[in-house]
Amino acid sequence: MTQALPPCALPRLYSQTDHDDRGNFHYDGDLYRPGEALPALCTRIEGHLHGLITGARFTSRGERYTGGRKVTVELLDTPADLTEESERRAFTTMVRDQIERFGFTRSNFYQDYLQFAFHSDVQIGKAYWSALAARRGKANEVEPLVSLAAFKRRIKPADCLKLIAAPDGHRALGTTRTIKAVRSSDLIFEGNVYLDFPRAAGFACDGRRVRIAIGNEHEPDRHLLYEWLPTER
């Protein structure tokens, strides 16, 4: 839920700005600071969103590319149910409007001209779908006795993971795979099959079972459930 501002305090928003009859688009964000470094910009955007949207959690990252900069804001959780496409679209538009207040845009579609402070991208992260599934009630719930960080330290090459529950039609259901390598962001099974680690909120392990959330807007509780079979050591 957003906090209401008095009408006189409402800034002009990016989505409310139109091109003129010559194709010019001119938007100046009221929170723009010339020359601001990307880390400081991301910190300000996160703080602004957390203060504006009650109960929401975001993370952001900035990157440079040829010709510009990009700020990606990922939603980790919010009380709102975003399973409906119209709700997601309205939410991401609202968030992007707030991000654009930290920048500026000049463009003309007739002249193929574009200048901006940064490109913005709003993503609904898997962590959000995991949090929504938890509020609704998870299937195959696993008690989180082993943290993701501890799991990465404890699992070793030659250990096995057996897939005991998965979305309908998953070809690997019932398959036991041997771990070839453990990296910071994923596991590599023999045969060069990769298993990405989720964010901590999407991971649960009780020492025997491992639950990895892979939810989306169609199936918030979509997940993989493994049985961990350590080698003797």
**Whether residue 124 sits in one domain with residue 50:** yes
**Whether residue 121 sits in one domain with residue 93:** yes
Q: What is the pLDDT of residues 113-164, one digit of tens each?
A: 999 999 999 999 999 999 999 999 989 999 999 999 999 999 999 999 999 9
Does 128 reside within a domain?
yes
Range of 224's domain? 148-229
Round the average pLDDT of the chain to a whole number and report it. Answer: 92
- Which one of 106, 136, 166 terminates a domain? 136
pTM score, whole prediction? 0.81
**Whether residue 172 sits in one domain with residue 92:** no
Does 196 reside within a domain?
yes
Does 19 reside within a domain?
yes
Q: What is the pLDDT of residues 40-87, one digit of tens each?
A: 999 999 999 999 999 999 999 999 998 899 999 999 999 999 999 999
Taking CB atoms within 8 Å and a gap of at least 24, the contacts of 9-16 are 11/101, 13/97, 13/100, 13/101, 14/96, 14/97, 14/100, 14/101, 14/105, 15/93, 15/96, 15/97, 16/97
pLDDT at 9: 57
Q: What angle do CA 187, 188, 193 make, to 5 degrees?
A: 120
Q: What is the pLDDT of residues 4-38, one digit of tens each?
A: 444 445 678 999 999 998 999 999 999 999 999 99
**Whether residue 102 sits in one domain with residue 30:** yes
Q: For helices 85-100 and 38-52, what crossing angle results, to 10°?
A: 130
* Number of domains the chain contains: 2
pLDDT at 169: 86
